[in-house]
């Protein structure tokens, strides 16, 4: 059985105190506790400080580009249905440049797990605002405050069809391990949005800030209630942050639906090169 050491690569380059350290420990612990080994899980890293977990985590992995980690992961899952596939990225890459991929992966209910490091900034490029920051957030790129409304990742995933929507906190590794395990175990698209203090460039959303505003969803919360989950996602606007699984349904995953499509052998025929040439002729 694999241990933390088997999943460990080089020493991380994150700033001391960065929330990424806690997320890294939680991911490795979840993999070990699920009985995985580095060759039984596919990991796709996005760009940014979160993507630098590529140095730290030893697994079958690809370091993707801005937000393109998501379709890469979808392709891995379609090629190998039984392999758990995990995307590790930041809010800049996944919700900014990769917003398109994020919403379509939600729609498809592709059976991948997104672990999003939500720190409201682009940390690696020294602190420009990310789209999910609070409106009015001041940064290098928004010196007078962010003008646009905030992108709400939990609401976006939920309304676009994600079947598992959760939120964790980098300062509570024990709870985060459990969330990540449940997300990977879930069949379908799972989002774990992790509130992750960037201690160097974000002086607003600190550990103290979150510890005063987070609360855990208890056993009385009904995670199958879509309308209730939608209400919970709106608490972000009041700077309240529920921790736990906001929503979970058993909607079939994309690859499971493919398996049930009627067989049509004509679809398997590849167009001959000659026919392709005729097609091109039509356009010239």
Residues of this chain that bind Mg ion (CB under 5 A): 90-92, 119, 130
Q: What DSSP character marks residue 57?
A: B
Question: Residue 200's binding partner, choosing from ligand SF4, Mg ion, none, with beta-carbon cut-off 5 to 8 A by kind?
Answer: ligand SF4
Residue 92's binding partner, choosing from Mg ion, ligand SF4, none, with beta-carbon cut-off 5 to 8 A by kind?
A: Mg ion
14 binds, among ligand SF4, Mg ion, none (CB under 5 to 8 A by kind): ligand SF4
Whole-angstrom distance, CA of residue 67 vs CA of residue 45: 9
Nearer to ligand SF4, 52 or 233 (CB): 52
163 vs 202 by CB, closer to Mg ion: 202
Strand 190-195 relative to strand 164-169, pairing = parallel
Closer residue to ligand SF4, CB minimum distance, 20 or 172? 20
What are the residues whose beta carbons fall under 8 Å from the beta carbon of 91, sequence distance 6 or more?
A: 116, 117, 118, 119, 120, 130, 131, 132, 153
- Of 153 and 244, which has the nearer Cβ to ligand SF4? 153
| Least distance (Å) between residue 69 CB and ligand SF4 | 17
Return the one option of ligand SF4, Mg ion, none that residue 132 interacts with (CB less than 5 to 8 A, by type): none
Residues that bind ligand SF4 (CB under 6 A): 14-15, 18, 20, 49, 119, 123-124, 198-201
Q: How many helices (H) and strands (E) does the chain have?
A: 11, 10
Q: What is the C-alpha separation between 171 and 174, in angstroms, rounded? A: 9
Helix axes 19-33, 173-185, angle to 10 degrees: 50
- Give the nearer residue to Mg ion in terms of CB position, either 130 or 229: 130
Minimal distance, residue 199 CB to ligand SF4, in Å: 5
Residue 51 CB, nearest approach to ligand SF4 (Å): 10
Task: Name the minimum Å distance from CB 18 to ligand SF4.
Answer: 3
Q: State which residue, 134 or 206, has the beta carbon closest to ligand SF4.
A: 206
Nearest approach in angstroms of CB 205 to ligand SF4 is 11
- Spatial CA neighbour of 196 closest among 43, 23, 29, 67: 23
E-strand stretches of the chain: 42-45, 60-63, 85-90, 113-118, 121-122, 128-129, 164-169, 190-195, 214-216, 241-248
């Amino acid at each position: 059985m694999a241990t933390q050491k088997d999943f460990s690569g080089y020493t991380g380059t994150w700033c001391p105190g960065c929330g990424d350290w806690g997320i890294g420990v939680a991911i490795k612990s979840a993999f070990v506790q699920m009985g995985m080994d580095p060759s039984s899980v596919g990991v796709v890293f996005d760009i940014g400080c979160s993507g630098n977990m590529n140095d730290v985590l030893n697994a079958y992995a690809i370091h993707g580009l801005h937000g393109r980690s998501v379709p890469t992961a979808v392709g891995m899952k379609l090629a190998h249905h039984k392999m758990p596939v995990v995307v590790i990225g930041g809010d800049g890459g996944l919700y900014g440049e990769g917003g398109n991929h994020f919403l379509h992966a939600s729609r498809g209910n592709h059976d991948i797990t997104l672990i999003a490091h939500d720190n409201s900034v682009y940390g690696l490029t020294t602190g420009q605002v990310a789209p999910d920051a609070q409106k009015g957030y001041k940064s290098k790129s928004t010196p007078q405050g962010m003008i646009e409304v905030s992108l709400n990742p939990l609401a976006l995933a939920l309304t676009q069809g994600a079947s598992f929507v959760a939120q964790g906190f980098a300062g509570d590794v024990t709870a985060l391990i459990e969330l990540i395990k449940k997300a990977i175990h879930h069949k379908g698209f799972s989002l774990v949005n992790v509130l992750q203090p960037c201690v160097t460039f974000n002086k607003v959303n600190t550990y103290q800030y979150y510890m005063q505003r987070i609360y855990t969803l208890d056993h009385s919360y009904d995670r199958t209630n879509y309308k209730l989950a939608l209400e919970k996602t709106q608490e972000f606007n009041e700077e309240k942050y529920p921790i736990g699984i906001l929503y979970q349904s058993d909607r079939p995953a994309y690859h499971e639906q493919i398996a049930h499509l009627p067989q049509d052998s004509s679809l398997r025929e590849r167009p001959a090169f000659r026919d392709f040439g005729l097609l091109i002729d039509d356009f010239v």
